[in-house]
Chains A and B, each alone.
Chain A
Amino acid sequence: MKRYVTLLIMLLVFLLFTTGCWNRRELNELAITLAFGIDSTMDGQYLVTAQVVNPKEVAMGKAGGGNGRSPVIIYQAKGQTIFEALQKMTKESPRKIYPSHLRMLVIGESLAKKGIGKSLDILSRNSELRSDYYIVVAKGMNAEDILKVPTALEKIPAINLFDTLKETAKAWSATSFVTLDDLITDLVSDGKQPVLTGVFLHMKGDKEKDLGNQNVEVIDTPARLFFQKLAVFKKDKLVGWLDEKQSKTYNVITNKEAGTAVNVPCPKGGKFVFHVTSSNTEMKGKIKNGKPEIDLNVHVEGSIGEVECDIDLTKSESIDKLEEMYEKETRKIFNNAIKQVQEKYKVDIFGFGEAIHRADPKAWKKLKKDWNKSFENLHVNLHVQGEIRQIGTIDNTFLEKIK
């Protein structure tokens, strides 16, 4: 009896070794992909571009070295579906594309106009993908062009893009970082339409020259990537671009603003800068006389970033005055921006529909069928409250003493 048990245990132990290592991959067998670009080609196929890291060129120290080769490599493949294209990529890549560390997903404008919905399925289905990468739209060009630009400060262009987007969201708040989950939530929502940040490529001249190694060797790099504007989607199709003020308004209303600077005119001429440090927006929907209405309570805290006008900051009344000026100014900007979105794009990117849904689900059932129409004529009660917390390390400006 005892012998059989021993034998059984031994066989079971041997069984462990026969399983093999079904998804074991060494680090040097991975093509670490940090950015995908998805474009649609003329013949209706997808063109998938993968920006793959060459780790040895990126890492510091002896192990890396850096022989002056490019820190990233582009692999491209066409396919009827994205999955097909990804599998095809191994035709030229010696290692399997490993997308778990994806930082950026760039969508070409032409694809965005045709509709991005179908291309997102694999991204949320694939188990290797996390959903913490940012999705952006290449303004006026294909995504592959964006991914071919070498960047200087961050060796890996995808990380360069990722960090830039994060930083600008903190300091300027005119763009928005949208992850896959956010995008899909907005796409399937009746009361909110998605937006995506636009990425631009500015080149000084000759394309061949600008995108070469020279781009990282000179001080004034000829090819530059930057984020600007928000792309407005109607369902999954791109319908237009918001300008900077509209984009900032979008961020404030959707409670995504982390910090920005607003130029505000002073009471007696000149201007001062209101440096927003935190902003909180309450959005409430209601039905008044059978018509939907939105109450927006924007509470902004900030400090005085710069003063270019004659005002006595040692008095608390003048601080009140400045707050008042700020509130007036931003109310104007916000109202304009909302009106422009209502009239020009006619899509509810702010999520007003969702607010109505929350406030009055019964009424929403009737409204949601034709929500974009109701959105056009939606009345928004905007209330802005600004608070100045700090005035900086000096009180009154020295400018008046110069005179």
Chain B
Amino acid sequence: MRFFKKQRKNSVTHSSFEQGDQSKENNKDLLKTSLEGNIQYVKQVLGNSRDIVIREIQIGKKGVKAGIFYTDGLVDTNSIQNFILESLMLDIHTDQGQIISSQHNVLQILKDDILTVGDIQDVTEFSYLLTSLLSGDVVLLVDGYAQGFTIGMRGGKDRGVTESTTETVVRGPKESFTENLRTNTALIRRKIKTPNLWLETKTIGRMTRTNVAIMYIDGVVNDKVVEEVHKRLDRIDIDGILESGYIEALIEDEKFSPFPTIYYSERPDAIAAELLEGKVAILVDGTPIVLVAPALFVSFIQSAEDYYQRADISTLIRLLRFFSIFIALLGPSLYIAITTFHQEMLPTGLLINLAAQREGVPFPAFIEALMMETAFEILREAGLRMPKAIGQAVSIVGTLVIGTAAVEAGFVSAAMVIVIAITATSSFVLPTLALSMSIRMLRFPMMALAASFGLFGILVGFIALVLHLCSLRSFGVPYMSPFGPFIPEDIKDTLIRVPWWRMFSRPRLISQKNIKREQNSASKPPRNKM
């Protein structure tokens, strides 16, 4: 540790830019008055990178020198052409241009009268200049002034808003977030138009300087959670944030838990719903995955579609999902435990049938299950990583190999194939990948417990798991609430989902001060016949 500290100290003295530490190096950081000097400095700091375009122009008749800086590919070149170059080089000769001379404050005139763009910020420091430049702003410096403008003209190639691929719904909005932070915040704002939807921005990552936005609805959110999110984000000191997964790992409560304590989604409607419940969304530039804190265990078995469908159907489907968590977690282990320790539990007919299938299978049930599970996990991973065209071939080989050939060759029993298949399918039922991954991982220790202690082992493992889950907290909120601690009012949106006209309140532990969600607004049709 000490070694690293020393390193960091050194880097501060070497390059103030990398550290972003402006206070100590004030003089060096301020812009120079001469344009030439500024250009030199920028070129030097950026190592003469060719994608930085520096265009020197003359403004007005007197020929005031100015420089336009931008990063090629990050800016909208058309806009630069139309609104900066044209304004400065053509329009300026008409009427306003007359007054451009060294006597007047050129910057003020440019800002007030000439530049026909919306987003203009003053810049006086190199560090800010460079950050803006590399974020895609256009920088305009005028010779003779130790300040300039950054002009918001971000553009360049972006992936448009497309249909969500990881969280698909049948009923509900299809759009999903993109890699662009601004697009993402806009997608949320389009859903929630209250002025209380607040957005705070941070820059995290010494090198990547990634923009991270925190969004919440003021008055609904628990202020302590916002404060805590800020605190944890501020504590991050890392060279780069490339995906929200970095942030998730850096701010989550329990570092050694297999369970996710931060929810994520790529659906704007899901995030909007979480905000309405009083949670905080953390958007990271460069990824469509938006984090939500605090997260509860139940949020991971809730799909956005649950809220759009009829309540009774949603409830049934949620119960089904909950049941499939158990299958996904315990399927193979129950099979192992019952067939190797508790044969008396099976009905006689089933026992004979299973015994017949196991005749001639050379491996113990545990090894058999382990083989099949590993084979399946390999196939699953291969299917994910392969190009789509080859993925098809993999699935065919997979079904043939582990489905049919293995049974016919006598390596595994047909019953085991069924068990593995239903387990695998169950793990896909969960709407969020995060929990499904944890369960997929926990399946293996459970199998080992089942193979060595039978149902007793499974029970011990399960109790340990439940204890662990109950000990977890996500930003101060108990992970298993509203089950532990038990909050009867909040059961309405857990394993069951009550109709919207009964959804009176927000989750108590999350939105502590503004609980009330609605008046009873169920429709009351007139009794008399029309």
Contact = CB atoms under 8 A, between A and B. Distances in A.
Interface of A: 16-17, 19-21, 23-28, 30, 32, 34, 53, 55-56, 58-60, 62-64, 98, 100-101, 103, 128, 130, 156, 159
Contacts of B355: 27-28, 30, 32, 53, 55, 59
B365 A55 contact: no
Contacts of B321: none
A27 B343 contact: yes
A56 B344 contact: no
Contacts of A58: 352-353, 356
- Going nearest first, the 9 A-B pairs with the smallest beta carbon separation are A59-B356, A100-B344, A55-B356, A55-B355, A63-B357, A27-B358, A27-B355, A28-B358, A101-B348
A101 B351 contact: yes
B451 A21 contact: yes
A100 B343 contact: yes
Contact of A27 (B348, B351, B414, B452): B351
Given A16-B452, A24-B364, A59-B355, 6 more contacts: A21-B452, A26-B365, A30-B343, A58-B353, A64-B353, A101-B344
Contacts of B414: 62-63
A334 B340 CA distance: 52
Contact of A17 (B344, B353, B361, B452): B452
Contacts of B356: 55-56, 58-59, 63-64
The DSSP consensus for interface residues of chain A is mixed
Sorting the interface of chain B by its residue count into under 10, 10 to 19, 20 to 34 or 35 or more gives 20 to 34
Contacts of B237: none
B349 to A, nearest CB: 8
Interface string B334-355: 0000011101100010011111
Contacts of A100: 343-344
A26 B353 CA distance: 14
B413 interface: yes
A65 to B, nearest CB: 9
Contacts of B354: 27
A28 B361 contact: yes
A28 B359 contact: yes
B146 to A, nearest CB: 55
A63 B418 CA distance: 14
B347 to A, nearest CB: 9
B344 A159 contact: no
A59 B357 contact: yes
Nearest to B348: A101
A32 B344 contact: no
Contacts of A19: 452
Contacts of A21: 340, 451-452
B360 interface: yes
Contacts of A20: 452
Contacts of A27: 339-340, 343, 351, 354-355, 358, 365
5 contacts: A21-B452, A28-B355, A59-B356, A62-B414, A128-B344
B351 A34 contact: no
Nearest to A98: B343
B332 to A, nearest CB: 15
B348 A34 contact: yes
Nearest to A100: B344
Contact of A59 (B341, B352, B360, B451): B352
A20 B366 CA distance: 13
Interface in B211-252: none
Nearest to A64: B356
A55 B413 CA distance: 14
